Each structure stands twice: as C-alpha cells, then as structure tokens.
Amino acid sequence: MKHYSQLTPEQRYIIYSMLKIGLTQSMIAKVIGVDKSTVSRELKRNSGKRGYRPKQADAFAKDRQQGKSKDRIDNRTCGFIKLLIENDWSPEQIQGWMKEHLSYSVSHEWIYQYILKDKQAGGSLYLHLRCKKKRKKRYGSNDRRGNLKNRVSIDERPDVVEERNRIGDWEADTIIGKAHKQAIVSLTERKSGLALIYKVDRRTKENTEDAIKRLLSSISGQVHTITSDNGKEFANHEKIAKRFKCDFYFAHPYSS
C-alpha cells in the first residue's frame, strides 16, 4: 500500500502556482518533495467546482480528517470554518463567502457561538477576532472591519482587465503559514497565468508591500493593474500603485 504524505498549506500554494504556469504533476512533486501519487491524489480529492485552490484544498483535507458525521455543521463544516477563522476571517465574511460559493451556509451568530465554545474549552480561536471586546449591537453605523483608506472598488476596474487580452493585470493574494509563522505573498498575471511567490516572516502591510515590489521590480513595465481582496496586509496599496504607476483595485467585501 502506498504512503501518501499530508501536505502543508505552503505546499498546496506551490502546487496551485505551478499548475498556473503549466508544470506537470511529476515536476511539482519533485519541487515540493513528495511522490507523484501524492500530487495526483491531492488534485483529485481536494479540487472544487472552480478547480484547485490552495485555501479550499486545505479546508477540504482538514474537513475530511474530522471524519463523517450526520451533523453537517459540527463535523463537515467545522474544519473549514476553523481554518478561515485562523486566517483572520470574521464570522460575517465566512457566512457571506459560504453562501456565495458553497451549497450551504451557517449564520455568523452560530460561528460566534462556536468560537465562544472553543474559548471555554481552552482554545484560541477568539484571538483571531478583529475586535476582542464584548460585542454590542450598533445602530446606524457602518461595519468598519477591514476598511482600507482610499480603497478603489473592483467595480471601477476597466473592462479590458476582465477580457484577459493583455499582459499586465495582476491578482495579489496571501496565505498564512503553519502556526501563523511566516506567510506567502503571491501575484498571478491574468492573461498568461504566470504566478510569482515570495515568502515573508509575517503578513504585515510593510512585508506585503516589500514582497510585491521585489516580485514586480524587474518587470515594472508590465504592470497595469493589481487586484486583491480586502485584507489589511494590502493597506499600503497606494504606495504600491505609485511605485509601479498602476491602478490598485479591491474585490467586493466577503469575496476572495
């Protein structure tokens, strides 16, 4: 019987990046140091409707480790929700994303209760909440979590970016490493599929800015736009846009 390695989030992100640039499963396996069968099994078991995506693949794998249960929320869904909380997603973001991309969803209030039970059991999920004070219901105020200064919505992005008929439109993303130590900053060019990655010690706005500058400096003439999610690590978007003389856009809230 063959032995299959348990892949790390970092390895899954490398698989995603290498698939983008057209490398074979054998080449990917050699780079991440596993058997080809491990990569093949990973792609078969952990790909979703939109193909292979590292965060979703990691969630699927952890979900499977929880085992099957008649209670979908307690077992099938908890591993996925736990992963998103550990990546600093708010309960509202999780609810919105699941409702849009999956065939089921849970309320954000249920997720808050899940975090509370974890805390009472000695867990640390509550430390990932963006506001750790006692929650109070607010009336007539906007949700201020994750707001970015001078943020430009993807709605204002020119149509030519969506058409993918030119080189120079990039999508930025980050993934946190094990135990929140280190992270990977990635850039994917929309037309060619070229993926660039850079490892940083912490997922801060300064480190993310530096990583993007390092990745794109040698091809600065091929940078028209950059689009990212609403993570606070992209708070220095104006500096990045100024450096490359490009436009920086943000996806809709609750969308990756």
Percentage with pLDDT > 70 across the chain: 81
Query: Taking a C-beta distance cutoff of 8 angstroms, is the pair 246, 226 a contact?
Result: yes
Q: How far is CA 63 from the centre of its chain?
A: 17
Q: Token pair of 51, please? A: 């193909």
Residue 146 domain-assigned?
no
Alpha helices in the chain (DSSP H): 9-20, 25-32, 36-45, 54-65, 78-86, 91-101, 108-120, 159-163, 205-216, 237-244
pLDDT classification of 131: cutoffs 50, 70, 90 = low
pLDDT of residue 239: 96
The answer to whether residues 129 and 74 belong to one domain is yes
Q: Are 72 and 98 contacting, i.e. CB atoms less than 8 angstroms apart?
A: no
Residue 134: its pLDDT value, please? 44
Residues in Cβ contact with 49 at an 8 Å cutoff, skipping those fewer than 6 apart:
none
Give a yes or no: residue 89 inside a domain: yes
142 against 21, higher pLDDT: 21
Residue 65 predicted with pLDDT over 70: no
The CATH number of whichever domain residue 5 belongs to comes to 1.10.10
Q: Is 148 part of a structural domain of the chain? A: no
Residues 106 and 165 in one domain: no
In terms of domains, do 86 and 34 share one? Answer: no
Structural domain range at position 116 = 66-135
The whole model's pTM is what? 0.49
Contact 152, 241 (CB under 8 A): no
64-68, 83-87, 119-123, 227-231, range with the lowest pLDDT: 64-68
- Domain shared by 180 and 245, yes or no: yes
Kindly report, residue by residue over 209-255, the tens digit of the pLDDT: 999 999 999 999 999 999 998 889 999 999 999 999 999 999 877 55
| pLDDT tens column, 13-59 | 899 888 888 889 998 988 888 999 999 999 988 887 778 888 888 87
User: How large is the average pLDDT for residues 99-125?
Assistant: 80
Q: Indicate whether 64 pLDDT > 90.
A: no
More confident residue, 3 or 214: 214
In a domain, 245, yes or no: yes
Contact 80, 59 (CB under 8 A): yes
Same domain, 202 and 241: yes
Confidence check: pLDDT of 128 > 90: no
Helices and strands per DSSP (H, E), number in the chain: 10, 5
- Please report the pLDDT score of residue 178 as a whole number: 61
CB atoms within 10 A of CB 171: 18
Task: List b or e across 225-252, with b for residues whose CB sees 16 or more CB atoms inside 10 angstroms.
Answer: bbbbbbbebbbbbeebbebbebbbbbee
Instruction: Please tell me whether residues 215 and 158 are part of one structural domain.
Output: yes
Mean local confidence (pLDDT), 199-215: 93
For 4, the token pair is 């299959």
Domain count, the chain: 3
